[in-house]
Chain A
Amino acid sequence: MTIKLLFYVIIILLLILVLLIIGVCFSIFLRHIRSKRLLKLKLVIYTLMGKFFKNPTLDISYNMKLMLEKEIKSKLKFHYVIKHLIDVHSVIQIPVQQQPLSIIKTLKIDKRIEKELKSSKSFKLAQALRYSYKLGIVNHINHFKKNVDSSKLTVRREAQVGLVVFLGWDSLILFNKVTHPISLWQIIQVLDVLETHPRPSSFVLLERILESNNDDIVCLAIHCATRFGVNTIQNKIFKHEKHTNEKVVTLVKAYYNFIRTHEIPVILPLNKPIPLTKVNSNGTI
């Protein structure tokens, strides 16, 4: 009796093994085909964007529609196309006003992203938020306001960064109300976004968040002051020298070193990056 049972078990296990081996072969086959198709798609997107940069008046949305509409019906390709539309931004600077939103609307990408914004899964929602702010879809701003204090970490993070994208330096005020911890990556993202906005005439909001009860927000403020060479709030930052949180103390020291070694102009130019010249240890520039 038991011999029969054991035989059946062996046959089932062998079947599973064969299925797995077929699975391996299939996954290799899929990968091979997909990589070729996806690479072609990527080159199409980059070439069309290249033409757009050469001649911004050119309406590339028609060509994009022709080539991409059918492709993005598949979920995988949809995400792939968006990823590369976003990645082009990391190759060439596109000012917010000049973003080719027409492509997004023609391919109905904004409608699909809006659907994902209603998802209950945190990854999908966070990803949709990210797509929205990277592609500059201002219409979705209400979703950002809704999720600013979400219990899910990635959703919260993307919503907060998105608000900085759309509202610029003014958005700093909302960080006063943030009680959850924020990561270094979020700080980096916020600072990268603030760099693309024109400088504010005063750093009052920065001063305010420097006094936050949330240690991570204090860190954000000091990182910000260091990145943009803000020396008008020096004294307020130095007050945190004896802060209970080691991270804050380290940042205050780094800020102090930065201010000491860089010559920062007294009158800050508004819409340009602050020209910082490094001062050598013997005082020369």
Chain B
Amino acid sequence: MELYRHSIDWFFFIYGILLFCCYFFFVSLAIKAIKKNKNNATFLSIKQIMSAQELPSISLVAPAYNEGKTIIINVLSLLSLQYPFYELIIVNDGSKDDSLEKLVNTFNLKVSNEPIKEQLIKTSKILGVYKSDNPKFKNLTVVNKENGGRADALNCGISNATTDLVLCTDADCIIEQDALLKMVRPYLIATDKEVIATGAAIGIANDSIIDNGTLHTLKLPKSLVARMQVVEYIRAFLLGRMAWGHINGLFLVSGAFGLYPKKRLIEVGGFDKNTVGEDLELCIRLRVHMERKKLKYDIVYIPETLCWTEAPSTPKVYITQRDRWARGLYETIKKHRYLFYNPKFKASGLVFFPYWVYFEFGAPIVEFLGLILIVIYMFLGEINYPTAVLLFFIVYIIGCIFSTIAILIYTYNFKQYATYPKALNLIFTSFLEPITTHPIMLYAEIKGYFKKIFGIKSTWGTMSRKGFTTNEVSKTDT
């Protein structure tokens, strides 16, 4: 019995140490990766990229569903991205409101004379392809189709794209005007390894001032839940993704902002409609595809924040989101379980996929079991309270240290939160994370796994959005 209990304790202890080592590893790799990215950027100036003739063409595909209130502003904002060979494809996924009508009226859209192309990826029925006869909006295409979900809408956009690369995003994301010029860099410097996906850091713009479709003034979100996510995103993108990208171990390029070569997307059949974690699933499928073809490939992350989005600002919406992410992770791991320790897929199967199983998928489970164990020990009176409290405190401070390291790396390299009030606010918010949003996230993730295990149906859920604060700055009379 003693041995049994000791081995359980040792399991949690070793898991904790391994996790800590992984984070430490991430920090050192991330610092190297960010430096490498900076060094590469000095050779590829934006001005020189902007004037080049031989750039790959890019399509931006944005699905839209019932976004009537803000669709015009969103489309105008997306149309203003600076890139010489660029087209915007908005896919109206069977909106029940007046989105399509508004688009047709504002942009002088007419049904295109060209016959509907054969869809390279099967999607739900296309009702019409619209183009503008106003030369100002020459590069806008709106595809109206029956409702099929986000993945289906993206696939439809991809099929209709006529360019080399496709950027998948959401219609209500705010994208920096020079984002495409920066995102194309990995494709420009690729030699023997083909770049099959590029991602960038995503920022949270809750309560910031948006003017004319661009981020005018960045402010920290007022809600605690949203502010926690700012820290979480900085940690995840700057430490996690940069580190993985450095050793070609990236498994996830966010669905909110990912640039892919169109050819490879068509080859793998686009996004999977049957999972809610379509971005993670696509990335893994792209990797497997290239491994099977025995072609060298790379997935690159750019540490700069190029896309701004609205994060859940209330616990309820936050739980819905994390529940969905957990279910997506469960579905993807299950679908690709053949990768687990499979030497045929080299590092993807032997190192990266197992990491995802143990420390991404497994972390909430281990934590949940650990909590149950603590409760059991409490009932059995087996807890040595002083030691337990001190151990808990140590784990808490280590968590704070990693968050602060992430914020330090961010303020050193980027200007966004580099003021005393914002940075210190973020640091102290991160101190609250383990006792506020972290338990909520744990609850949401376990709930998600529960639903999958016991077959409880759930879908995307409606994200009730507050909308960004728009300021009519440009119209005020000075």
Contact = CB atoms under 8 A, between A and B. Distances in A.
Interface of A: 2-3, 6-7, 9-10, 13-14, 16-17, 20-21, 23-25, 27-28, 31, 83, 87, 90, 123, 126-127, 130, 153-154, 157-158, 180-185, 187-189, 191-192, 216, 223, 227
Contact of B405 (A20, A130, A153): A20
Given A6-B387, A27-B412, A188 B393 contact: no
Given A23-B408, A188-B52, A188-B53, 8 more contacts: A17-B397, A17-B400, A20-B405, A83-B42, A180-B191, A182-B191, A185-B43, A216-B191
Contacts of B418: 27-28, 31
A217 to B, nearest CB: 13
Contacts of A158: 43
Interface string B186-204: 0111111000000000000
A192 B400 CA distance: 49
B476 interface: no
Nearest to A227: B53
B54 interface: yes
A15 to B, nearest CB: 10
B52 A130 contact: no
B45 interface: yes
A20 B387 contact: no
B407 interface: yes
Nearest to A6: B390
Contact of A13 (B52, B387, B397): B397
Contacts of B404: 17, 20-21, 24
A24 B410 CA distance: 9
A7 B42 CA distance: 47
Interface of A is mostly: helix
Interface stretch (B136-144, B338-346, B419-427): B419-427
Contacts of A6: 387, 390-391, 394
Which residue among A17, A158, A223 has the maximum number of chain B CB atoms within 10 Å of its CB?
Answer: A17
Ranked nearest first, the 5 interchain pairs of A and B with the lowest CB-CB distance are A185-B188, A6-B390, A181-B191, A20-B404, A13-B397
Given A27-B411, A126-B43, A153 B390 contact: no
7 contacts: A6-B390, A9-B394, A17-B397, A20-B401, A20-B408, A23-B408, A28-B418
B54 A16 contact: no
A189 B48 CA distance: 9
B54 A127 contact: no
Given A3-B387, A13-B394, A188-B188, A28 B52 contact: no
B381 interface: no
Contacts of B188: 183-185, 188
A14 B407 CA distance: 17
Interface string B39-51: 1001111011001
A46 B363 CA distance: 55
B411 A31 contact: yes
Given A183-B190, A227-B54, A24 B45 contact: no
Contact of A183 (B45, B189, B405): B189
Given A192-B52, A223-B54, A7 B427 contact: no
Contacts of A17: 397, 400-401, 404
Interface in B374-396: 386-387, 390-391, 393-394
Nearest to A31: B418
B394 A10 contact: yes
A183 B52 CA distance: 14
A192 B54 CA distance: 11
B475 interface: no
A27 B393 CA distance: 28
Interface string B49-79: 0011111100000000000000000000000
Contacts of A223: 54
Contact of B43 (A16, A24, A154): A154
A189 B54 CA distance: 10
A220 to B, nearest CB: 10
Contacts of B44: 185
A209 B420 CA distance: 57
A83 B47 CA distance: 13
Contacts of B53: 188, 191, 227
